[in-house]
Amino acid sequence: MNTDSRNIIDSEYSDIMQQSYIDYAMSVIISRAIPDIRDGLKPVQRRTLYDMGELGLRSDRPYRKCARIVGDTMGKYHPHGDSSIYDSLVVMAQDFKKGRILVDGHGNFGSIEGDGAAAMRYTEARLESITEEAFLKDLDKDTVDFVPNFDETEKEPEVLPVKIPNFLVNGSEGIAVGMATSSPTHNLKEVIEAEKAYINDPDISTEGLMHFLPGPDFPTGGIVTNASELPAIYESGQGKIKLRGRITEEKGKNGHKNLVITEIPYTMIGAGIGKFMSDVIDLVESRKTTDIVDISNQSSKEGIRIVIECKRDADTENLKNLLYNKTKLEDTFGVNMLAVHDGRPETMSLKSIFSAHTAFLYDLNTRKYTNLLAKEQERSEIQEGLIKATDLIDLIIETIRGSRDRATVIRCLTTGDTKDIRFKSKVSEKEASSFNFTERQAAAILDMRLSKLIGLELEALIKEHNETLKAISKYRNLLDKPSAMKKEICRELDEIAGKYQDERRTEITDAAAAVFTEKPVEEMDVYFVMDRFGYARVIDTATFDRNKEAIESDDATFKYVFLTKNTGRIGIFTNTGMLHIIRTLDLPMTKLRDKGIPIDNLSRFDSSSEIFIYIDDLDSIVKSRLLFVSRKAMMKLVDGSEFDVSTKRAVQATSLGSDDELFIVKPYDEETDRQILLQTEGGFFIRFAMTEIPEKKKGAVGVRGMKLAPGDRLEGLYFMNFADERVIQYKGKEMPLTHVKLSKRDGKGTKVRV
């Protein structure tokens, strides 16, 4: 290759990466995730509906396998995988997600409770009638531009000629690169009335539009509780809509009351219902409420029905507020009405949405009636030629019989050129020379059947021509007079609304914040119980008293047992020097042999690195002095009041060296704990008086109790009085603690050999 012909471009790598990323981001935004404001559809939705129309899957035709629809769409228009196409098809058929479903699904298309649709080979689908009439009807009238598909073997519409503001009716959700769209669904009739109001008065305010469109209308119903904030949301295109489920009261069995949830927030669709059930159970287990007896999900195809059975004397209003406060029965829907407008993403206000769609409607109708006018004018031209030809039919037949070919006849009919035509007389030739039909009329005359010469046929032709002239007049009037076009657009909108309108499902109101008044807990003594696996619970004192011997004899199941208050707190010290604090109320009240719940679910305890070394009632801890001893023999006394903290998070109970860990935390008893004896893994012992251990703050490391040999660390710790003859087992033999000479703190200790 000749080096002179090379075209070498120097460019910064960062510039290339930036431009490539921008191109990628815009591709995702425009071609996948964000809907077009004109038809309110993402590309995959548009292509799927168009393909279904091309396959002839009208609402009055048999269903077709979804696998066929998906395969055809992917092969012709959307080469991004079958799952994205099928997922889009399924969502357009789910009446609990869309304000108006666009696809009529047959088979298992999932449920509001989060069940997925069956595989595409099992399900079938066809178009809904509203999709045919309001989305695909005028595609053959040159209303929108067609562009080549991905491999330029097919043509696809750039946008569908949608007659309703689908972006508002069906809403939209999508995540692109650096931006996302989230638009709520609205009532079809209200949206159309608001659009008509905008068409009649383009200067109308957002408040004026909201007279017709008061707010979102979710397919799941529910209650919007911040109506006063909606004008600002619709003005900016962004904000948060507060949603509540609908709760009714019913009489239950045996005098009980039932709270029945019949509508849920739109955000609870899917796994949210199961999560709500779980949250209610947690409220009962954590004793946030004692008014709930049972909960059951009795939902069916007829609608949502979640029944909460309450006690006879339950405060149902307070319980409703608890459900709104502590579960997703009250939630927020984040609004960000982002759409592609004029080829770029834009956050749209309510008025700008109607402005964009109204301009689109005018464009659609202008192209439609321009095309129809041209066709009617062509038809009128032909009809005029045929009507004129019936009066000259004998001369025309003579001309045809005297001509050698079709081109000669056409030339004579259009220009009066009689050359190369044999006429019966000069008179006929002279009359033929006055022919002045158009090319289109001449072709129609030659293609005309002789049956058209029958009198009734001629009358029908004249009648048809009059109808054509009326249509031409109508189309010219629509194209020339904006007021006429406006009236026609509103007529079409009224026709769609009249045929497909439905009742509003979501209530719009300004509701007071749900305030839950927690009932005061009756204070009582309970026993904290935790097994060696970390499962904790509380039992009442009567249960403990009946089973005291069994509890004291089973160290595995009842590893930690102590008396506390049900309104108190539990302190948990771990080997990492942390103190975890939990509320006793957060522990379930169980039977003696019940398992309880893992303590780390409440304490944020890290089971991979932490080990429990001391657990007690926090009130008892606060009233005592605690002895801290680490594996490296660092020691200190700490006043328990330092651990009287009002937090549920873990707090640092002591400071440790980088290679050290907490060995023992123990309340210090001045009467019985006069001396302390330390034992190391290497067999060294040291005994000294407790008075040598100073009291320090919880953030201090402490003082050294014993000089350890390299690699050695504490293995045992014992307390004794001055005259205590306590004996321990050491390497299988008995050893009196008094055999270890009393010395001072921070010595090397005595090596004991047995």
Active site residues: 122
Q: What angle do CA 60, 61, 62 make, to 5 degrees?
A: 130
DSSP symbol at 745: T
Give the DSSP H or E segment for 551: helix 548-553
271-285 vs 316-326: helix crossing angle, rounded to 10: 120
Q: Which residues contact 429 (CB under 8 A, 6 or more apart)?
A: 418, 421, 423
Evaluate whether 539 touches 529 at the Cβ level (below 8 Å): yes
| Parallel/antiparallel/unpaired status of strands 507-508 and 223-224 | parallel
SS3 assignment, position 352: helix
b/e sequence 455-484, b meaning 16+ C-beta within 10 Å: eeeeeebeeebeebeebbebbeebbeeeee
| Parallel/antiparallel/unpaired status of strands 103-106 and 64-65 | unpaired
Helices marked H in 164-258 = 166-169, 188-200, 206-210, 230-236
Tokens 């330092």 belong to 642
SS3 assignment, position 151: coil
Among candidate residues 66, 106, 276, 94, the one with its CA nearest the CA of residue 171: 94
What's the CA gap between 237 and 231, in Å, rounded? 10
DSSP 2-28: -GGG-------HHHHHHHHHHHHHHHH
In residues, how long is the chain?
754
> How are strands ordered across the β-sheet holding 306-310?
246-251, 257-263, 306-310, 292-297
How far, CA to CA in Å, does 22 sit from each of 34, 42, 43, 57?
A: 16, 20, 20, 39
425 φ, ψ (degrees, to nearest 5): -150, 165
192 CB neighbour count, 10 Å cutoff: 27
Among candidate residues 559, 575, 568, the one with its CA nearest the CA of residue 659: 575
Q: For residue 120, with 0-12 CB atoms within 10 Å meaning exposed, 13-18 middle and 19 or more buried, which class applies?
A: buried
Q: Which residues contact 149 (CB under 8 A, 6 or more apart)?
A: 76, 77, 155, 156
As given in the structure block, the two tokens for residue 193 are: 């009335």
47 CB neighbour count, 10 Å cutoff: 23
Largest CA distance in the chain: 158
